[in-house]
Amino acid sequence: MAKSALLKSSLAKKYWMAFTGLFLCLFLVGHLFGNLQLLIPVSEGARDQFNEYALFMTTNPAVKVLSYLTYFSIIFHAIDGIALTINNRKARPQGYVSFKPSTNTMWSSRNMGILGTVILAFIVVHMTMFWGEMKFGGLDETIYTTANGEEVKDLYTLTIKTFQDAEFGLLWAIAYGVAMLAIAFHLSHGFSSGFQSLGINHPKYNVFIKKIGMAFAILIPLAFAVIPFYIHFVLEKI
């Protein structure tokens, strides 16, 4: 019984949701630290630093393991979420004429599926634009020669140009900002919910977890969102 309990039961779905979700929170922190390097002025060698970092991230075996874990988490989190949503719809075949969930729940907690879908769409676009371009885009005018003389994609220039583009730069930044808003709402429920699902709940620490969760949900997406606007409006043009 114990085995199937960890795979099939309703609680198992929660555990996996929480595990992958909290892992993705960690990933966000790592990703943010990388991105923050985009704020370094061009004149201070930002291009080199960022591209070397990108290279490290794509080649280091340990990072590779982590990145596969991340892909897996994203996919599993999404599939599990879809399965949960379908299952939960089935649990109430006949709906209410009058149902007022706003009286007892937060909007975000009820709309994790929608928020998740927006985020998934963002991830797809995001991956095609940067990661996909990096991996499969081929070498065109944006070439970066690494310290060991290898020629790779110049991810830095690609990124900066995207957001500094005269025609679409601002639109991209806004779209990015909207996606970050979705992540913020998703996290505002997801962070503390993950702890609850794993059974980490104690009257003494609940407030703390809730507060950290809220801070996390606001600060991390905000920091992400600031970067494209900074690139567009503040950073010297390249």
Partner 1 sequence: MNLTLKIWRQKNADTKGKVVTYQVADISPDMSFLEMMDVLNEQLIEKGDEPVAFDHDCREGICGSCNLQINGEPHGPDRGVTTCQLHMRRFKDGDTIVIEPFRAKAFPVIKDLVVDRSSFDRIQQAGGYISVNTSGNTQDANSIPIEKDNADMSFYAATCIGCGACVAACKNASAMLFTAAKVSQFALLPQGEVEADRRVLQMVEQMDKEGFGNCTNTGACEIECPKGISLENIARMNREYLKASVK
Binding site for partner 1 (CB under 8 A): 1-3, 5-6, 9-15, 84, 87-88, 90-101, 103-106, 109-110, 112, 189, 192-193, 196-203
Closest distance of CB 165 from partner 1, Å: 40
Closest distance of CB 7 from partner 1, Å: 9
Nearest to 131 by CA among 105, 161, 162, 153: 153
Of residues 73 and 192, the one with the C-beta less far from partner 1 = 192
Of residues 36 and 83, the one with the C-beta less far from partner 1 = 83
Closest distance of CB 41 from partner 1, Å: 44
Of residues 2 and 166, the one with the C-beta less far from partner 1 = 2
Secondary structure (3-state) at 89: helix
Q: Which residue shows structure tokens 């990661």?
A: 131
Closest distance of CB 100 from partner 1, Å: 3
Question: Cα-Cα-Cα-Cα dihedral of 228, 231, 233, 236, to 10°?
Answer: 180
Q: Indicate the helix (H) or strand (E) that contains 151.
A: strand 151-153
The C-alpha atoms of residue 233 and residue 196 are separated, in whole angstroms, by 41
The C-alpha atoms of residue 217 and residue 199 are separated, in whole angstroms, by 21
Of residues 59 and 87, the one with the C-beta less far from partner 1 = 87
